[in-house]
Amino acid sequence: MQRKSETVSVTSSKRRKTSEQEYIINENTHEAIISKELFNTVQAMMANRTRTSTAPQKHLFTNVLYCEECNKGMWYKANQKGYRCGGNIKHGSYFCVNKVAVREKELKSLILGDLRKLFNTLNNGTFMETMLSKLNSKRQSMQKELKLTTKEIEICRKQKLEHVNLYTEGIINKEDLIELKQMLDAKVESLLIKKTN
């Protein structure tokens, strides 16, 4: 049998499979190692032994749920009406021993119950009042911190002017002025970063 695959193009070494109609078959060109009946029997046995598994289906919780044993995503199995470990389904029990199916119906009712509790908690007026008071106190503390940071930046700018005055009066030399300026610039830069955050 020849021409089971062919190159994609002349410049590429990649190959693609050809259809069975394009195969070149030369029968009786050499002596057979096994008989045709034995070959067909073995092929039939191999076809019976192959394990067919259903492909993973997109479903509501597919790959949102994870197996507690191997941390692989769980797949929906229609015949079990639930989710099973993808590692166990694909690779078998030597990969993951978890064969437990999480029923979709039970999962939905559990999640709906939790969502109802959360909604009732959020719907409760005291919860909203508590959250608003926390937000207000946080806002006030941030405003105070912003005022302090702005004040510190202004102090640094005044110190820079004082250092320039000291230099012009001859009290400090140029190297000291440059060093003090760099220190104050670094402090102002860190304060500006703090202010923006």
If asked whether residues 101 and 160 sit together in one domain, one would say no
Query: Is residue 43 located within the same domain as residue 61?
Result: no
Domain shared by 44 and 78, yes or no: no
Say if pTM beats, i.e. exceeds, 0.85. Answer: no
Q: Establish if 96 belongs to a structural domain.
A: yes
Q: Are 98 and 66 in the same domain?
A: yes
pLDDT at position 57, please?
A: 61
What confidence score (pLDDT) does residue 51 get? 66
Strand-by-strand arrangement of the 82-85 sheet: 74-77, 82-85, 102-103
Tell me which residue range forms the domain holding 62.
55-123
**DSSP-derived secondary structure letter, 56:** P
Tell me the Cα Rg of the chain: 38
d(CA 155, CA 126): 44
Q: Which H or E run includes 39? A: helix 36-49
The residue from 96, 123, 150 where one domain ends is 123
Rounded distance between C-alpha atoms, residue 146 and residue 50, angstroms = 70
Tell me: do 45 and 66 sit in the same domain: no
Whether 134 maps to a domain, the answer reads no
- 50-105 pLDDT per residue, tens: 766 656 567 888 778 899 999 998 888 888 888 899 888 888 888 999 988 899 89
Name the domain count of the chain. 3
Q: Is residue 188 part of a domain?
A: yes
Sign, CA dihedral 185-189-191-195, equals: positive
Query: Do 192 and 148 sit in the same domain of this protein?
Result: yes
For residues 25 and 63, membership in a common domain is answered with no
pLDDT digits (tens, 9 = 90+) for 101-150: 899 899 999 999 999 988 887 777 777 788 888 999 999 998 998 899 88
Residues 155-193 have pLDDT tens digits of 988 998 998 888 888 888 989 889 988 998 998 888 888
> What pLDDT is recorded for position 196?
78
Mean pLDDT over residues 24-28, rounded?
80
Q: What is the pLDDT of residue 52?
A: 63
Mean pLDDT throughout 16-44? 86
What burial letters (b/e) apply to 76-98, b meaning 16+ CB within 10 Å?
bbeeeebbbbbbbbeeeeebbeb
In a domain, 63, yes or no: yes
The answer to whether residues 111 and 147 belong to one domain is no
